[in-house]
């Protein structure tokens, strides 16, 4: 299982890449493994929407399951990955790269400290039942 060290993680399997005040959000390798073949991704926020931490930002559908993606941080949505609509399988093949979902201009940097680092997230995943 891949867990890039430069990212932060949530218990609900979202990752965050922070660059200044811009947070890029997606779902982790663990998440895509649980879902198996993703057939559809719907981003449920628009550009300029204000999201709160835990707010719903996307729905991922696979053959057997549907999962909600919730924002790890509060802020304003500034960019949405339009490609995911046509290539949902990127969530399986490249969850940390081309399958990024939204970019958010965060409003409260302090929220980042509430997220897990790579090592903690890896430990957390190893305790979970499959």
Which residues here bind other proteins, judged by CB under 8 A?
A: 37, 39-40, 42, 44, 61-66, 68, 129
Closest CB to other proteins among residues 86, 113: 86
- Give the phi and the psi of residue 28 in degrees, each rounded to 5: -85, 175
Provide the minimum distance between the beta carbon of 37 and other proteins in the complex, in angstroms, as a whole number: 5
Among left, alpha and beta (phi > 0; psi -120 to 50; other), residue 31 is: alpha
Provide the minimum distance between the beta carbon of 20 and other proteins in the complex, in angstroms, as a whole number: 30
Report the SS3 class of residue 49.
coil
Provide the minimum distance between the beta carbon of 65 and other proteins in the complex, in angstroms, as a whole number: 6
Q: Tokens representing 48?
A: 């300029």
Closest CB to other proteins among residues 65, 109: 65
Closest CB to other proteins among residues 42, 123: 42
Provide the minimum distance between the beta carbon of 24 and other proteins in the complex, in angstroms, as a whole number: 23
Q: Is 121 exposed, middle or buried (0-12, 13-18, 19+ CB in 10 A)?
A: buried
Q: Please state, as a whole number, how many other Cβ atoms lie within 10 Å of the Cβ of residue 123.
A: 10
Closest CB to other proteins among residues 1, 66: 66
């Amino acid at each position: 299982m891949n867990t890039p060290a430069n990212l932060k993680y949530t218990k609900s399997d979202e990752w965050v890449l922070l660059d200044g005040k811009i947070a890029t959000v997606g779902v982790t390798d663990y998440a895509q493994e649980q879902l198996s073949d993703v057939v559809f991704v719907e981003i449920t926020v628009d550009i300029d929407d204000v999201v709160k931490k835990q707010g719903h930002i996307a729905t991922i559908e696979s053959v057997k399951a549907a999962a909600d993606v919730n924002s790890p941080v509060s802020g304003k949505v500034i960019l949405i990955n339009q490609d995911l609509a046509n290539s949902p399988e990127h969530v399986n093949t490249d969850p940390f790269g081309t399958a990024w979902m939204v970019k958010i201009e965060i409003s409260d940097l302090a929220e980042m400290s509430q997220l897990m680092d790579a090592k903690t997230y890896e430990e957390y995943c190893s305790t979970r039942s499959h």
